[in-house]
Amino acid sequence: MPLTEFAPIRTNGLNACSGQGLLESDRTRRLPPSRNDDFFSCTAFGCKVSPIRGGPAAIRNRERLLMIVILGDINIDITAPLSEYPVLGQDCLAAELSFHCGGVGANTAFALARLGAPVRLVGCIGNDWFGSFVRSQLASEGIDLSLVQKAERTPTGFMFIAVSPDGQRTIFGSRGANAEVPDAAKAQQCLHGANAFHVMGYSFMSVPTEQLARQLIRTAKDTGLHTSMDVGVFPSRTIPEKLLQLANEVDVIFGNAEEVTLLTREQDAGKAFAALEKSGAREIVLKLGSSGCLIRTREGLTQVPPFSVRPVDTTGAGDAFTAAFLRARLEGWSNAECAVFANAAGAAASELLGGGEQMPQLSRIIARMSETHFASAWDEVRLEVIRRLETAAQRTSKHVVQGV
């Protein structure tokens, strides 16, 4: 089977890896091709590599089976924690400022890399110091930047993020080079060797990036790749009709409560969810922040419980959520498991100042999951996710110590 194809698998309510019954969508899902030989898990999610054939080089090659391609914004973020939020016209000084790599594309790439997923990021930065800074931060995580291009006359996207005492952020800035695609022909090669494509609503806000995004969605669908889109607040406000038309073009739509309200004009989360389904969306994951998330399971519309958290900065929390959900989905986890893990990742991210390179490590997410207990069946799902992650991490550690 070619690396760019998925094998359609219907789980029928069973966990695809363990066979144990858990909440699950009744829809057929595209999953990475399975192999039945002497493979072991090289990451916390069972990325298949051989412990015998080829050593580290073979491991790096095999990991490409789970390559996720992201088309999205890459920014420089300046984060300013505020002791109190100013009124209009008032001066306000932050005790400190910090530089971070940011943007929804970069944040999601960082989060996926921290979860052990090979990631290829497609985007554009300026030929400036900020561009060099964000590129170096992304490269340090091993993210494939071969298709991150430079715009010679447009600066790197720049965002100033004011963070209130309760961790909520307000963002000012410009997308800058994110609106450009200097070499579209080169960028269209990005799906080679991948099995998933994730795009942002922001990519449909300029003609060059929209043309590229639509072409990549078509190519991904034609070659059997899993496709997903995170709609974003500003695109949901400014181009809602366009995003709704795209709803049935991808496998999964991610959005938060504000975004889906802007898209559907429904204030109630359940009604907004239903409106998106009516528009043709195949699968929806509705992020509810401190209230968890909303998904569709065999039992119907289901609210997945949140993890308790004292937020420091919610910047990038939604991106961490999306990354965790996608990572688990591509491993064949149930919808319930994907959602619980995603909630934990979003909660862990909100406890850290800044996005980008501040995205939480897997160990922090596991710790967050271990500190919260749910009622009834949800706690069984939480414990199963922790068991999987810890077991796989132990296997990884064992083989690393043995020099594999």
Query: Does a structural domain hold residue 4?
Result: no
Contact 350, 303 (CB under 8 A): no
Tokens of 350: 């909100």
Cβ atoms within 10 Å, residue 353: 16
CA torsion, ordered 269, 271, 273, 278, to nearest 10 deg: -170
CA distance 28 to 70: 23
Tokens of 37: 């030989």
CA distance 313 to 349: 8
Tokens of 271: 């009604």
The pLDDT assigned to 45 comes to 52
Number of separate domains in the chain: 1
- Can you say whether the dihedral through the CA atoms of 183, 202, 326, 215 is positive or negative? negative
Tokens of 92: 């306000």
Strand 68-71 relative to strand 75-81: parallel, antiparallel, unpaired?
unpaired
Query: Does a structural domain hold residue 91?
Result: yes
CA distance 87 to 332: 48
Closest CA to 249 of 204, 294, 297: 204
Question: Largest Cα–Cα distance of the chain, in whole Å?
Answer: 66
Distances (CA, A) of 20 to 15, 243, 326: 5, 36, 21
pLDDT digits (tens, 9 = 90+) for 345-396: 999 999 887 777 889 899 999 999 999 899 888 999 999 999 988 876 776 5
pTM of the model: 0.81
CA distance 225 to 250: 10
Distances (CA, A) of 334 to 295, 306, 322, 331: 11, 17, 15, 9
Contact 213, 191 (CB under 8 A): no
CA distance 19 to 287: 27
Query: Does a structural domain hold residue 115?
Result: yes
What is the secondary structure of 333-355 as a DSSP string?
--HHHHHHHHHHHHHHHHTSSSS
List the pLDDT tens digit at each of the 404 positions of the chain: 222 222 222 222 322 232 232 333 333 333 333 222 222 233 445 443 222 233 333 334 434 447 999 999 999 988 887 878 777 887 878 778 888 889 999 999 999 999 989 999 999 999 999 999 999 999 999 999 999 999 999 999 998 888 888 777 788 889 999 999 989 999 999 999 999 999 999 999 999 999 999 999 999 999 999 999 999 999 999 999 999 999 999 999 999 999 999 999 999 999 999 999 999 999 999 999 999 999 998 889 999 999 988 888 777 899 999 999 999 999 899 999 999 999 999 999 998 877 778 898 999 999 999 998 998 889 999 999 999 888 767 765 554 444 43
Task: For the chain, give the number of residues.
Answer: 404
Query: Does a structural domain hold residue 160?
Result: yes
Query: In sequence order, what are the beta bridge partners of 186?
Result: none
Contact 298, 194 (CB under 8 A): no
Does an H or E element contain 213, and which? helix 207-222
Q: Using alpha carbons only, give the angle 259, 281, 3 rounded to the nearest 5 degrees.
A: 110
Q: Which residues contact 238 (CB under 8 A, 6 or more apart)?
A: 205
Query: Does a structural domain hold residue 2?
Result: no
Which amino acid, one-letter code, is at 141? Answer: E
What is the domain range of residue 358? 9-401
The pLDDT assigned to 41 comes to 30
Query: Does a structural domain hold residue 1?
Result: no
CA torsion, ordered 290, 291, 297, 299, to nearest 10 deg: 160
Strand 144-151 relative to strand 252-256: parallel, antiparallel, unpaired?
unpaired
Closest CA to 174 of 103, 107, 237: 103
The pLDDT assigned to 133 comes to 93
Q: Which residues of 145-174 are buried (b: 16+ CB within 10 A; e: fewer)?
A: bebbbbbeebbbbbbebbbbeebebeeebe
Q: Domain of 108: which CATH number?
A: 3.40.1190.20
Query: Does a structural domain hold residue 203?
Result: yes
Tokens of 116: 């052990």
DSSP annotation of 93: -
CA distance 117 to 109: 9
Does an H or E element contain 124, and which? strand 119-126
